[in-house]
Amino acid sequence: MIKTDILIIGAGPTGLFTVFEAGLLKLKCHLIDALPQPGGQCSEIYPKKPIYDIPAYPEILAGDLTDKLLEQSKQFEPGFTLGERAETIDKQDDGTFIVTTNKGTKHHAPVVAIASGLGSFEPRKPLIHNIADYEDKGVEYMIKEPEFYRNKKVVIAGGGDSALDWSIFLSDVASEVTLIHRRNEFRGHLDSVEKVQALKTARKINLITPAEVIGINGHSKVEFIVVKQLKPEEREFRINCDHFVPLFGLSPKLGPIANWGLEIEKNAIKVNNALDYQTNIPGIFAIGDGNTYPGKLKLILCGFHEATLMCQAAYQIINPGKRYVLKYTTVSGVDGFDGTRKEAPKAVVKAIQ
């Protein structure tokens, strides 16, 4: 059981900044995220795109913003449960919560802050009628452990970076790699595209374009897929394989949080914006893009503000009746849980002769 003060669901910018604000109040944080890395949309969808409305940054890449936020909160030693989705929440008799992920990891905290943005990222599944029957029986929507594919015949479908990069990687691991895409052009980093080109020429990747997978077959597991090639002439054929890995990107879904008894409006969680961003369940807060209230704006900078106010309310729940006044970091410095201290240099007091 992982124990913490504030359990944050979602490791995007709002969740990461919460760690810093909570740390100033001597509260520890742990974050759960369905993605394998922190940063949320900023690192998953647009790491190389600039953002222009982060205060004091005329321009910052989304990936760099994530790095800066991690650096800013590092001394408060946040814990992470990554690659797992928060599934259930159970309120205990003492008012605390236990949140369990889809992999069974349990987290115990007196305060839960949902900073889940548009939701957890779920793979987009191609429209093949029986694909669900083969999930985990040869069909995987993301590659978690490349060794799993050692000496197997693998078919990858998709036209973006992940399809290219995994085809390259698996060409050294799998016995056979086939990459199928609906058009001849791929959207990815130039060197990835060039590498696939080289591997195709060396016959280490079997590239089929423009084509798409239209069928899956096999008795208890994937044995072959049916491909429809569009050019030079339209034809259908089979490819024998052990694994079919469609990589068509991810789309955010509110997911299991929808069943937590929270008031939901427009796919977002209703909160009290006059006070502390608490939901209809005391002790559960929602901050950032995933909440809603009159006048809500889905902006990173608004998430930062909401996180800051939420931490004050969390302090009151965790330390009932304990006195506290707002301190300025410039005056008080920042004392990390790792023993580090940041502080403003002392003024020099010296006579001028």
Partner 1 sequence: METDINIKIIDRDGVTHKVEAPTNMAMNLMEVVRSYELAPEGTIGVCGGMAMCASCQCYVLSDTQLPEMQDDEEAMLSEAFYVKDNSRLGCQIQMTPAMEGLEVELAPES
Is residue 38 near partner 1 by the rule CB under 8 A? Answer: no
Query: 275 vs 97, 272, 300, 343, CA distance in Å?
Result: 22, 6, 19, 31
Is residue 267 near partner 1 by the rule CB under 8 A? Answer: yes
Name which position in 79, 249, 255, 336 contacts partner 1 (CB under 8 A): 249
Nearer to partner 1, 80 or 293 (CB): 293
Nearer to partner 1, 132 or 331 (CB): 132
Is residue 182 near partner 1 by the rule CB under 8 A? Answer: yes
What phi and psi values does residue 264 have, to the nearest 5 degrees?
-120, 135
Name which position in 46, 148, 237, 324 contacts partner 1 (CB under 8 A): 46
Is residue 228 near partner 1 by the rule CB under 8 A? Answer: no
Query: 74 vs 34, 185, 301, 336, 339, CA distance in Å?
Result: 21, 41, 20, 8, 12
Decide: 226 and 235 in contact? Cβ < 8 Å. Answer: no
Is residue 160 near partner 1 by the rule CB under 8 A? Answer: yes
Instruction: State whether the Cα torsion 117-118-119-124 is positive or negative.
Output: negative
Could you tell me which stretch among 25-33, 213-221, 249-257, 274-282 binds partner 1 (CB under 8 A)? 249-257
Measured distance CA(311)–CA(332) in Å, rounded? 18
* Total number of residues that touch partner 1 (CB under 8 A): 26
**How is 147-160 classified by DSSP, letter by letter?**
GGGTT-EEEEE-SS
Nearer to partner 1, 45 or 281 (CB): 45
Measured distance CA(294)–CA(278) in Å, rounded? 14
Nearer to partner 1, 119 or 288 (CB): 119
Decide: 289 and 277 in contact? Cβ < 8 Å. Answer: no
Beta bridge partners of 217: 224
Measured distance CA(23)–CA(332) in Å, rounded? 13
Could you tell me which stretch among 70-78, 82-90, 193-201, 247-255 binds partner 1 (CB under 8 A)? 247-255
Smallest distance, Å, CB 79 to partner 1?
Answer: 28
Is residue 255 near partner 1 by the rule CB under 8 A? Answer: no
Smallest distance, Å, CB 161 to partner 1?
Answer: 11
Name which position in 127, 297, 325, 349 contacts partner 1 (CB under 8 A): 127
Which of positions 140-159 make contact with partner 1 (CB under 8 A)? 158-159
Measured distance CA(269)–CA(310) in Å, rounded? 15
- Left, alpha or beta for 75 (phi > 0: left; psi -120 to 50: alpha)? alpha
Nearer to partner 1, 52 or 328 (CB): 52
What phi and psi values does residue 162 have, to the nearest 5 degrees?
-70, -40
Is residue 259 near partner 1 by the rule CB under 8 A? Answer: no
Q: Where along the sequence are the contacts to partner 1 (CB under 8 A)? A: 41, 45-46, 49, 118-119, 124, 126-127, 158-160, 181-183, 185-187, 248-249, 251-252, 254, 266-268
